[in-house]
Amino acid sequence: MKPSSTLVVAGSALVIAATGCSSPNQESTVASATRPDATVYLVSDTLVQSAFEASGTAAALRQATLSTKLLGSVIEVFVKEGDAVAAGQPLVRIDARDLSAKADQVAASIAEAEAMQRDALTQAKRIRALYADSAATRAQLDAVETAVARTDAGARTAHAAAAELEAATSYATVRAPFAGIVTKRFVDPGAFAAPGAPLVSVQDGRTLRITANATPDVARAVQRGGRIDAIVEGRPMRAVVEGVVPAAAGNLYAINALVANPNGVMLPGSTATLFIPLGTHAAIVVPQAAIIRQGDLTGVTIRTAEGDATRWVRLGLTVGAMVEVNAGLRAGDRVVVPNNGAATVAAGG
């Protein structure tokens, strides 16, 4: 973890003129005396925001290891590792033939309970009419009312048993709880499934949670719901702070932040960095479109009175259309930004 910087509105300018009085330093290599079609960016001291680099990992926000509540053999496994699945899609099927036999018993119990309920209601209707004509005693009426209550309870019990059996039967087919990717297949057909034993793991990487540790003084600068800069797999992006909680060990806090990954470009488990804003300082920045890359080297084209020259520089944090230059440039240098239609040049007053 180390301090870095993130860009804010700054004083810089675009210079359309092709002339200048800067001389190339010893790091510069004259490329050509010709002046290609380009915009010239005048380097100046710019106000940037210091940041603390909190390194961590980006994990899938939703991930689950699925199991069953049944004891039985695995009949089918419908997926392989790496398969994309939809919410509710069947993944594994467990042998549930013993439940099918119980289903017949439960159906018979329901039929018997409902028949007794109908008979009790018929008897109660007759006794109620007789009692109204003073042809039946109060004891007879109480007896049939009790019989009705008992048969109602019996019918409810039978239907509850059917619902319980239906729920247990549903565990025979393990389904995806959400859309995602199968990351682990623990069983094959013929394996024995037990309650709680893992069968398949699924994760949804469309939203990633970056978890990084920081000291308490840095963590205080982070607010839930706030937006901070982040880098995942070298890609700069904005993250939304989910929360700050004590870390598992040491006098540290875990900062959790969410980043969108709708196309799955970034893989869960990738290294990531959160940039916690700490303050501001003066620095040199240039447009991203001006950066030249050659292997591990990064540079820019400097426009001088003698011609254009390549100067190798050391870059800092990239934010939006601008990138910080930690070494290799000074205020007053003129950086060439090609007019290729894709370059975006940011300038301030």
Q: What is the pLDDT of residues 255-303, one digit of tens each?
A: 999 999 998 889 899 999 998 888 777 888 888 888 888 888 889 999 8
What backbone torsions phi and psi does residue 189 show, to the nearest 5 degrees? -55, 135
Element containing residue 235 per DSSP (H, E) = strand 235-246
Environment class of 216 (CB within 10 Å of its CB; exposed 0-12, middle 13-18, buried 19+) = exposed
Environment class of 117 (CB within 10 Å of its CB; exposed 0-12, middle 13-18, buried 19+) = buried
For residue 30, pLDDT beyond 60: no
Tokens 């109480």 — which residue?
142
As a whole number of angstroms, the distance between CA 23 and CA 284 comes to 18
How would you classify the pairing of strands 28-32 and 84-85? unpaired
Please state, for a pLDDT cut of 90, what percent of the chain lies above it: 39
Give bridge partners of residue 137 from the DSSP assignment.
none
* Higher per-residue pLDDT: 258 or 325: 258
Band (pLDDT 50/70/90 cuts) for residue 49 is: confident
Maximum average pLDDT range among 128-137, 178-187, 270-279: 178-187
For residue 43, pLDDT beyond 60: yes
Q: Are 7 and 49 in contact (CB under 8 A)?
A: yes
For residue 340, pLDDT beyond 80: no
Residue type, 138: R
Q: Are 258 and 225 in contact (CB under 8 A)?
A: no
Q: How many CA atoms lie within 13 A of 120 on its CB side?
A: 20
CB atoms within 10 A of CB 332: 12
For residue 118, pLDDT beyond 80: yes
For residue 32, pLDDT beyond 60: no
pLDDT at position 149 is 93
* CATH number of 97-170, picked from 3.40.50, 2.115.10, 1.10.287, 1.10.3470: 1.10.287
Q: What is the mean pLDDT of the chain?
A: 82
pTM for the model stands at: 0.58
Domain ranges in the chain are: 3-60+204-338, 68-93+172-198, 97-170
pLDDT at position 239 is 95
- The structure tokens listed for 25 are 């330093």
User: Average pLDDT in the 325-331 region?
Assistant: 88
pLDDT at position 320 is 61
Q: Are 91 and 182 in contact (CB under 8 A)?
A: yes
CATH domain 68-93+172-198 topology:
OB fold (Dihydrolipoamide Acetyltransferase, E2P) (2.40.50)
Q: Report the chain's terminal Cα–Cα distance, integer Å.
A: 33
3-60+204-338 and 97-170 agree in CATH topology: no
For residue 235, pLDDT beyond 50: yes
pLDDT tens-digit series, residues 55-84? 999 999 999 999 998 888 999 999 999 999
* Higher per-residue pLDDT: 115 or 320: 115
For residue 11, pLDDT beyond 60: no
- The structure tokens listed for 56 are 């961590």
For residue 41, pLDDT beyond 70: yes
Residue type, 87: A
- For 3-60+204-338, CATH gives 2.40.30.170
Range in 151-160, 249-258, 279-288 with the lowest mean pLDDT? 279-288
* Higher per-residue pLDDT: 152 or 317: 152
Residue type, 212: A
Please state, for a pLDDT cut of 70, what percent of the chain lies above it: 86
Residue type, 141: L
User: Average pLDDT in the 158-179 region?
Assistant: 86
